[in-house]
Amino acid sequence: MSTQLCDIEDVEIEECPPDTRDAGTARVCEGCPGKELCLSQVSKPDPDQQVIDTRLRAIKHKILVLSGKGGVGKSSIAAMMSQILASDGHRVGLLDVDICGPSIPLLMGVVNQPILDSQWGWKPVVSPHGNIKTLSVGSLLSSGAQAIVWRGPRKTALIRRMIKDTLWGRLDDLIIDTPPGTSDEHLTVIKLLATTKPDGAVIVTSPQMLSAGVVSREIRFCQKMDIPILGIIENMSGFCCPCCSEVSQIFSSGAGEYLSEKYDVPFLGVVPLDPQITTVQESGFNIEDVCPNSPVVVKMRKLVLKIIEDLQK
């Protein structure tokens, strides 16, 4: 029996329709095993949307942190953004929708602090890092080692609850940390935020061109879903010496600028890898309190303030 290699060029890969109103009726939906489910969800109005909109309209800026690739430091960037904004006097919330790999509780110093369910909704845990309201599935688990073995619909339902039932109150900024990929979690968040218009996405890449190839899919995802791209951050770009703070290149570099030029989106800058920051974050401390003069903190402060200035124009 003869065999041959499968060529990706011979396989037609079609995406789900970006507009949820077309779900189940578009040409690409013909023959899809999930067609009937999509039709049943689209055919009736979302009874929760008014509640969701009421909660989200009390939040001035809603910023997504995306990458498409794992291991590039999205959660670390999201945590640093929230801490820097809080230190500047902003009322900040941090939502972690990475269902299977939540890391925000550790980074924000709220491990083992449970979410309280009140008559007004879920009360997010308040991080000691500037009174940042934090919500993560990690705070809903009985153990940090507990595995989330869920299919897509159950993850979607939990994200819906995290957005609909959380009592954020009035905030200046809500930072949303997302998992790798461009699938269920991302589509759910964007659909729920659609009527209140998220301000945009910060795209995170590592310096290698291998990372750029994966992150480019996230950029195309944002373009397809009409999510403004606030800019690209090249994270872990160089190693910061713990003795003299000199930054040396240990990986390749240039992925951020390459993506910026290729897709005509703003390049916010590079952030080096500082072992001191890693230790501080994994210990659950505030970077602004422990190492405010680290090259990473100095660089991130400039990037975050630039993002906010651009949003206020």
> Is residue 295 predicted with pLDDT exceeding 70?
yes
Higher local confidence (pLDDT), 270 or 241: 270
- Position of tokens 């993002």? 307
Please name the residues in contact with 251: beta carbons below 8 A apart, sequence gap of 6 or more: 206, 207, 208, 236, 237, 238
DSSP per position, 166-185:
B---SEEEEEEE--SSSSHH
pLDDT category at 1 given cuts 50, 70, 90 is: very low
pTM of the model: 0.84
- What are 171's strand-pairing partners? 59
pLDDT category at 145 given cuts 50, 70, 90 is: low
From the list 150, 208, 143, the residue with the least C-alpha distance to 179 is 150
Tokens standing for 10?
A: 């011979």
Grouping H, G, I as helix, E, B as strand and the rest as coil, residue 264 is: coil
Tell me: the pLDDT tens digits for 178-209? 988 887 888 889 988 988 889 999 999 999 88
> Is residue 70 predicted with pLDDT exceeding 90?
no
| Mean pLDDT in residue range 250-263 | 87
- Position of tokens 């899809």? 32
Q: Kindly report the backbone phi and psi dihedral angles of residue 65, in degrees, each rounded to the nearest multiple of 5, phi listed first.
A: -110, 115
Tell me: the pLDDT tens digits for 20-49? 667 777 777 777 766 776 766 655 567 778
Please give the pLDDT value at position 6: 41
pLDDT category at 11 given cuts 50, 70, 90 is: very low
Please name the residues in contact with 143: beta carbons below 8 A apart, sequence gap of 6 or more: none
From the list 174, 168, 169, 171, the residue with the least C-alpha distance to 81 is 174
Residue 313 has a CB neighbour count (10 Å cut-off) of 4
Domains within the chain, CATH numbers bracketed? 47-311 (3.40.50.300)
